[in-house]
Amino acid sequence: MKKIINDPADVVTESLRGFAAAHADLVRVQYEPDVVVRADAPVAGKVAIISGGGSGHEPLHAGFVGPGMLDAAVPGAVFTSPTPDAVQAAVTATTGEAGALLIVKNYTGDVLNFETAGELAAAEGLDVRSVVIDDDVAVADSTFTAGRRGVGGTVLLEKITGAAAARGDSLDAVEALARKVIGQVRSIGVALTAPTVPHAGEPSFELADDEIEFGIGIHGEPGRERIKLEPADALVARMVDAVVEDLPFTSGDRVLLFTNSMGGTPQLELYLAHGIAERLLAERGITVARRLVGPYITSLEMQGISLTLLKLDDELAELWDAPVETAALRWRA
């Protein structure tokens, strides 16, 4: 294993120290339990938006803390969902009368730990709700699985609910909006190489030189299917098909297209894939009205990409465009 680290057990905390130093204008970081909080939290009268999960997916979630997006992020150990006390610390630091929305990616660990945190918050008389995002079309959503995973759609959900909270929406309204977004966002991922978890020291799976994992998650779990590497045109078409036909997205739809790097894929390839996806969607009569391209929800150094489509209406487009000021996403209206 080749990594720029000291003791693997300290990776998350040491990285947070660097993050805190780099972004003192945006965040403050609390340690033990580790929580990244908006510098000006709690924001009076505003619904707090909180998310978290295992580390190793950066910039998710800490990179999205700031005005217009998250009030707090709760980073667990690498690929390990955080514990309830850490989530509770995030709630305590950010949540007032207006309540909080917890954005939970659908993994057994995240769901269970955030569930307990929600109970702890309720016991303190706070109005804290949870939504579970499960946008990964690679996983069959049946009783034979833990259900679909939360992947790329999480980034869009955090941005859009963050904007709604920033404009003063009530917790009821933000929660309803979150459920609407979850209902119309879908993703698929592919991996060319495996990530290496620091404490494990070995790549999470082995792939031959001509093999890729189609339907990969973001935790180094092997994908749903192992296929041969194919040219970008064919691969992106396979991905677009999987996403479009799931919801389905149909001719006339306006969408946000999010082309995400899993970490190790260079921008040169990422934009190349994005261009193909844009073309394929246009051919289907689907209008790409907004786009996001970059490494926003990653799996350590894994090479691969994911595509996420969100069906837009005027409200969602407006909330997407609303100003945001975080370490990883930053724009003005």
Nearer to a second copy, 183 or 323 (CB): 323
Q: Which residues pair with 203 in a beta bridge?
A: 196
The region that residue 319 occupies, defined by phi over 0 for left and psi between -120 and 50 for alpha, beta otherwise, is alpha
145 is an interface residue for another protein by CB under 8 A: yes
145 is an interface residue for a second copy by CB under 8 A: no
Helix (H, G, I), strand (E, B) or coil at 212: strand
Residue 189-228 contact track with a second copy, rule CB under 8 A, x = bound: ---xx---------------x--x----------------
Nearer to ligand ADP, 4 or 268 (CB): 268
Task: Please count the CA atoms within 13 angstroms of the CA of 30 that sit on its side-chain side.
Answer: 20
The span from the CA of 293 to the CA of 22, in Å, is 23
Residue 23 known to be catalytic: no
Nearer to a second copy, 101 or 273 (CB): 273
Alpha carbon 108 to chain centroid, angstroms:
16
Residue 57 known to be catalytic: yes
Q: How far is the CB of 311 from another protein (least distance, A)?
A: 25
Q: How far is the CB of 306 from a second copy (least distance, A)?
A: 12
Buried residues in 110-146 as b, exposed as e (16+ CB within 10 A): bbebbbebbebbeeeebbbbbbbbbbbbbbeeeeeee
The span from the CA of 294 to the CA of 259, in Å, is 7
CB atoms within 10 A of CB 77: 20
Residue 73-92 contact track with a second copy, rule CB under 8 A, x = bound: -----x--------------
CB atoms within 10 A of CB 57: 27
Residue 107-136 contact track with ligand ADP, rule CB under 6 A, x = bound: -xx---------------------------
Residue from the set 22, 39, 112, 140 that interacts with a second copy by CB under 8 A: 22
Contact 195, 202 (CB under 8 A): no
Dihedral angle of Cα 244, 245, 248, 254, to the nearest 10 degrees: 20
Nearer to a second copy, 24 or 122 (CB): 24
Give CA separation, 15 vs 52, 197, 295, 303, in Å.
16, 15, 18, 21
| Residues found near a second copy in the complex (CB under 8 A) | 2-6, 11-12, 14-22, 55-56, 58-59, 63, 78, 192-193, 209, 212, 229, 231-233, 235-236, 259, 263-276, 278, 288, 291, 293, 295, 298, 300-301, 303, 305, 330-332
| Residues found near ligand ADP in the complex (CB under 6 A) | 80, 108-109
| Residues found near another protein in the complex (CB under 8 A) | 9, 33, 54, 76-85, 107-109, 112-113, 115-116, 138-140, 143-146, 149, 197, 199-200, 202, 204-205, 217, 219-222, 224
Catalytic residue annotation: 57, 219
